[in-house]
Amino acid sequence: MLPNSVQVESSAPSFLSAAQPVSAGPLRQTSFIGIISECREMQKIFNVVEKVARTKSTVLILGESGTGKELIARAVHKLSGRQGRLVPVNCGAIPEEILESELFGHEKGSFTGAISSRIGRFQMADCGTIFLDEIAEMSPKLQVKLLRVLQEHKVEPVGSTRFVDVDVRVVAATNKNLIEEVKAGRFREDLFYRLQVVPVELPPLRERSGDVRLLAQHFLARASKSAGAMELTFSEEVLTRLSNYAWPGNVRELENLIERIAVLSESEKVTEDALPEYVRGVAAECNVIEIGDTLPADGIDFNQLVEQFEAKLIGMALQKTGGNKKAAARLLRLNRTTLVEKIKKKGLEEQVEVSLEEDAPRVIL
């Protein structure tokens, strides 16, 4: 049986001894090698990263897009003390045929266009770390080869009959649910276990208590500093609005929005009108329907009212998540497919328009 999501166990955060806590004025700002957070879950993760970094264990980083997986991978390498380089490979962005030679290298003439032999990224990362990003996108054939490399610490360049020894620390990441991928037969179970020797699951930003405020202020201070402009501050209402929004694009979405606000701001105090509609429009409470203690004398149309109630809840969830159906389903404790069916059935698709740009979702309600 496959395990459920991974819980990182720890007591008091000990990472402060290795990393530099940064204190900026009145803010209780905590930075673990540039990763800002004061949330407990993240501090447990920093603690695990600090512990695991000096070992050779494979680390599997899980989390939604924009939660900071790459930052954690870099932190693992930085604290590892390994002499070699950190070599990132985006397994989802490179076609299968090319990925094999990218990872393991190739011999001259091994395929059309291989005019000279070349070493792969595993060899480039010798004595260092290879960061296999979007690992769930790797083809079954390459998954087999990768498993062999992880077990034998040797790579076989394409078109070669010899094996080359490599001393590489492997860090992998994905925003997919790897357990689901294994169950669906798209990801090898043996490779999954081999990769998740030390699993690290980054919580989405909406579940990190206090971090939206902290990060928003951090990004604003950084943006005003880099522009060499006046020092901007947020009004309390802005910080509340930002904290109420669900951030489907996580820290990346927040970072980009704050940068945009900083560039466009005309006064030192950033007020609510600087926020886009989809952040400002978030309802603070959940008063979706008003119904008295007794039914009206002429009764009610039960089905119609239930329909309206459902439509309203779905609309609110989509608004809160900037049109992201997956995040909305999570807020409503529904399966994504159930939510999608309901949206279709109720003809709500037209009410939601998600921008193609992941970072700037837009909702028209």
Q: Given the rule CB under 6 A, which residues bind ligand ATP? A: 35-37, 63, 65-71, 175, 215, 251-252, 255
Cα distance between residue 268 and residue 259, in whole Å: 14
Nearest to 210 by CA among 248, 232, 252, 242: 242
| CB-count burial class (<10 Å; 0-12, 13-18, 19+) for 248 | buried
CA distances 337 to 68, 332, 353, Å, are 27, 12, 18
- Shortest approach of Mg ion to residue 351 CB, angstroms? 31
Report residue 72 as tokens.
């954690």
C-alpha 134/C-alpha 175 separation (Å) is: 7
Using the minimum distance from each CB to Mg ion, give the nearer residue, 74 or 169. 74
Q: 29 is in the binding site of which of ligand ATP, Mg ion, none (Cβ under 5 to 8 A by kind)?
A: none
Residue (69 or 121) nearer to Mg ion, CB: 69
The site partner of 117 among ligand ATP, Mg ion, none (C-beta below 5 to 8 Å per kind) is none
Q: Which residue is nearest to ligand ATP (CB)?
A: 68
* Cα–Cα separations (whole angstroms), residue 124 to 76, 87, 88, 168: 18, 7, 10, 9
Residue 63: contacted member of ligand ATP, Mg ion, none (CB under 5 to 8 Å, by partner type): ligand ATP
Minimum Å distance from CB 43 to ligand ATP? 11
Q: How far apart are CA 86 and CA 131, in angstroms?
A: 7
The span of 68-76, 193-201, 208-216, 226-234 binding Mg ion (CB under 5 A) equals: 68-76
From ligand ATP, Mg ion, none, which one binds at residue 47 (CB under 5 to 8 Å depending on kind)?
A: none
State whether the Cα torsion 88-35-5-152 is positive or negative. Answer: positive
358 contacts Mg ion (rule: CB under 5 A)? no
Nearer to ligand ATP, 47 or 101 (CB): 47
Task: Quote the DSSP letter at residue 272.
Answer: G
Query: Footprint of Mg ion on residues 225-254 (CB under 5 A)?
Result: none
Contacted by 255, from ligand ATP, Mg ion, none: CB < 5 to 8 Å by type:
ligand ATP
Interface stretch with Mg ion, choices 67-75, 100-108, 205-213, 316-324 (CB under 5 A): 67-75
Subset of 303-342 contacting Mg ion (CB under 5 A):
none
Question: Least CB distance from residue 68 to Mg ion, whole Å?
Answer: 8
CB 64, min distance to Mg ion, A? 11
154 has which bridge partners? Answer: 165
Question: CB under 5 to 8 A by kind: which of Mg ion, ligand ATP, none does 252 bind?
Answer: ligand ATP
Q: Which of 70, 107, 189, 358 binds Mg ion (CB under 5 A)?
A: 70
Nearer to ligand ATP, 70 or 156 (CB): 70
Q: Is 245 helix (H, G, I), strand (E, B) or coil?
A: coil
Residue in the block written with tokens 């202020």: 217
Which amino acid belongs to residue 43? Q
Count of CB atoms within 10 A of residue 55's CB? Answer: 13
Give the C-alpha separation, 186 to 149, whole Å.
20
Residues binding Mg ion (CB under 5 A)? 69-70
